[in-house]
A and B are shown apart, each in its own frame.
Chain A
């Protein structure tokens, strides 16, 4: 029971981050039917910029919350600039090109951004400064050992606030309605006086800002940053967006949370389920391995990255439109 509760907490934290990143993929897809594969790198850059700012201010004697907020603001500003630049330089010229062209460009861009980050921040793992003292809170009654940290609470709350703000923006404001109109029919949106290029740029800006905050959250949660960290994170969040139904905002949130839970449960339980030594009468071939390591298991928590892709494959096979998606696309 402890493991279960603990993995629910971890899964929801992770899922909140995936959801915020998945929203960036799904918003851009919704408006230009393009998978912005460079979005994971935007998240990485957000993490790196926040790292640099926090390290620079660490000795200035400012309150830790202020330092963190300044780091996040700098990350948002830089990521918005990067997101805008990506759209302007790489995607806008290809708006009417065959779909394969922007897709390949997106992959190329993500490599370029990784290497720019490599030049700036180096190739080694960077310890993200833990300026906020981590506090653990016990969950439930005194017998359980499941805990939730203040960082986890902050991540879940911040994600929920951002998601609510985004939904309000998209469904309640003139700018949001214009975004949805543009995503449905850009030509007619233009006839309404909507500047389609500007609206698309706004979508990239918002997605990048969300990605920046996600980057800060990932850095604060794992305490570590690396120039390639955006790759796996991006793929998982993209899988989450597909799981929920790409192009659908609620779907991205649902898909992100599910993806986090699946990954946490997989990491928490698959090792137990595949502990070969308890099965040694069935699988005598493992006797030798079990003699040296009685806990040997086929799928330990090292395999946690696998589950996202198993989910992605299952969704693509059985429900390509995702959980909440209506349109099955020839568009993807």
Chain B
């Protein structure tokens, strides 16, 4: 039983057909990677799921159709997107950003517990709670964006290129947290251009090419696939 399923999803931007019938699924508890070159349609896929891009075809989450629902309704049904470029609220403090992550929840005590947990995952944020988010470094903003998404207690976490623009040490730190959050049972769909990293943490993966799924399979299969090696892993055939 899949938690999220896309069938023949299409997205148009004006005359441009950015997704040309994408089908994929994510089962509960899985960490699925979505890899592909720049412009392949990875971000568009996540935006379609989150309700930010108008899509046709079928998108179902936990049995419910998401098509045509407003982003806030989709978020309240348990999907959190960490957008490309992080999307922190620059003029709000770190603490206020985290509070916005928990906006749809009413369970104060549980929110406080989750907040403590997030701050233990990212101790850097704990030191900067009263700072405005715009004054954080890129890596800290990424931590904030992930922490904020976790505070919604998502049933499905969508991550759009969390490694983008970060120094290798920070990328390691972020991926360590991704691994840990996944181990805690959060279902994830991870978009990455850095296919090596993504296939290391994922159990299954899809390769997106020009708005279509070209290859899919277990992460181990894709790591051994010569086409994937040549195109995305920097391994000469």
Footprint of B on A, CB under 8 Å?
A: 174, 177-178, 180-181, 184-185, 187-196
Contact = CB atoms under 8 A, between A and B. Distances in A.
Given A191-B50, A191-B80, A191-B87, A177 B99 contact: yes
B148 to A, nearest CB: 8
B91 A180 contact: yes
Contacts of B90: 184
Nearest to B47: A187
A190 B75 contact: yes
Nearest to B77: A193
Given A178-B103, A187-B71, A192-B75, 11 more contacts: A174-B99, A177-B99, A180-B96, A181-B96, A190-B52, A190-B70, A190-B72, A190-B75, A193-B75, A193-B104, A194-B72
A193 B99 CA distance: 12
Contacts of B103: 174, 178, 192-194
A180 B71 CA distance: 18
Contact of A192 (B70, B91, B152): B152
B72 A196 contact: yes
B51 interface: yes
Contacts of B96: 177, 180-181
Contacts of A191: 50, 52, 71-72, 75, 80-81, 83, 87
B76 A193 contact: yes
12 contacts: A177-B100, A180-B91, A184-B90, A189-B100, A190-B52, A190-B75, A191-B50, A191-B80, A191-B83, A192-B101, A193-B72, A194-B100
Nearest to B82: A191
A187 B152 CA distance: 16
B122 interface: no
A190 B71 contact: yes
A249 B225 CA distance: 58
A34 B158 CA distance: 33
Q: Which among A190, A193, A194 has the highest number of chain B CB atoms within 10 Å?
A: A193
**4 tightest A-B CB contacts, nearest first:** A193-B104, A190-B71, A193-B75, A188-B87
Interface in B143-158: 148, 152
A291 to B, nearest CB: 63
B126 interface: no
B89 interface: yes
Contacts of A185: 87, 89
B68 to A, nearest CB: 14
A192 B90 CA distance: 15
B3 interface: no
Interface in B118-156: 148, 152
Contacts of A193: 72, 75-76, 103-104, 152
A179 to B, nearest CB: 11
A184 B89 CA distance: 6
Q: Which among A174, A181, A188 has the highest number of chain B CB atoms within 10 Å?
A: A188
B100 A181 contact: yes
Contacts of B92: 177, 180-181, 184
Interface in B24-68: 50-52
Contacts of A196: 72
Contacts of A184: 89-92
B71 A181 contact: no
Nearest to A190: B71
Contacts of A192: 72, 75, 100-101, 103-104, 148, 152
A326 to B, nearest CB: 9
